[in-house]
Amino acid sequence: MAGQRTQQLADRIKVIVAQMLERRVKDPRLGFVTITDVRLTGDNQNASVFYTVIGDQKAVDDTAAALRSATGLLRAEVGKQLGTRITPTLAFFLDAVPEEARQIEDLLAKARESDERVAQQSAGAQYAGEADPYKHKDDESAEDE
C-alpha cells in the first residue's frame, strides 16, 4: 500500500516539474528537456528526477545549470501542489538510458550488416568434403554385409 502511494506521489511530482519547466521556468539556458522518471525514497523525503535533453553537450550542460538554479522554485511548487506534510528535496540526474539504447541500436545494426555479408559470402559456397561427414548406423550395417 505504501509503495503504491509513493509511486503516485512520484508520478505527480513528474507532472508538476514538467509543467513548471514548460510554463514558468524562463531560463534561456533550459534546452528541450523531458522529465523521464521520478523516484522517491521510502520516506518520501528525497526525489530523484531523471531527465533527457535533445542537443549537444553544451545543451546538456546548460540545462543542468538551469535546473540547479530553478530547484528552489520547483520544490516550492511541488510542495504547494502536493499538500503533503513534508516536501521532498529534488535532485536532477541526466537519464543515460536513451543514449545507451542508441548505442545498443548501433551495435545491433553493425551485427546485422556483418550477418548479411557472411550470408552473401556463403551463398555459393560448397562443403569442402562430403555434405554429411558423420557415420550413420545405416552405413555401418551396409559395410558389415
Domain ranges of the chain: 2-95
Q: Is the pLDDT of residue 117 over 60?
A: yes
Q: Which CATH number fits domain 2-95: 3.30.300.20, 3.60.40.10, 3.90.1260.10, 3.50.50.60?
A: 3.30.300.20
Buried b (16+ CB within 10 A) or exposed e, 76-97: ebbeeebeeeebbebebebbee
What is d(CA 62, CA 94) in angstroms, rounded to the nearest whole number?
12
Q: Is the pLDDT of residue 2 over 70?
A: no
Grid cell digits, residue 54: 535533445
Q: Is the pLDDT of residue 31 over 70?
A: yes
What number is the average pLDDT over the span 133-142?
70
Q: Identify the residue with better confidence: 99 or 67.
A: 67
Collapsing DSSP states into helix, strand and coil, what is residue 43?
coil
Query: Residue 28's pLDDT is what?
Result: 81
Collapsing DSSP states into helix, strand and coil, what is residue 47?
strand
Q: Indicate the pLDDT class of residue 83, thresholds 50, 70 and 90.
A: confident
Q: Are 71 and 27 contacting, i.e. CB atoms less than 8 angstroms apart?
A: no
Q: Are 97 and 36 contacting, i.e. CB atoms less than 8 angstroms apart?
A: yes
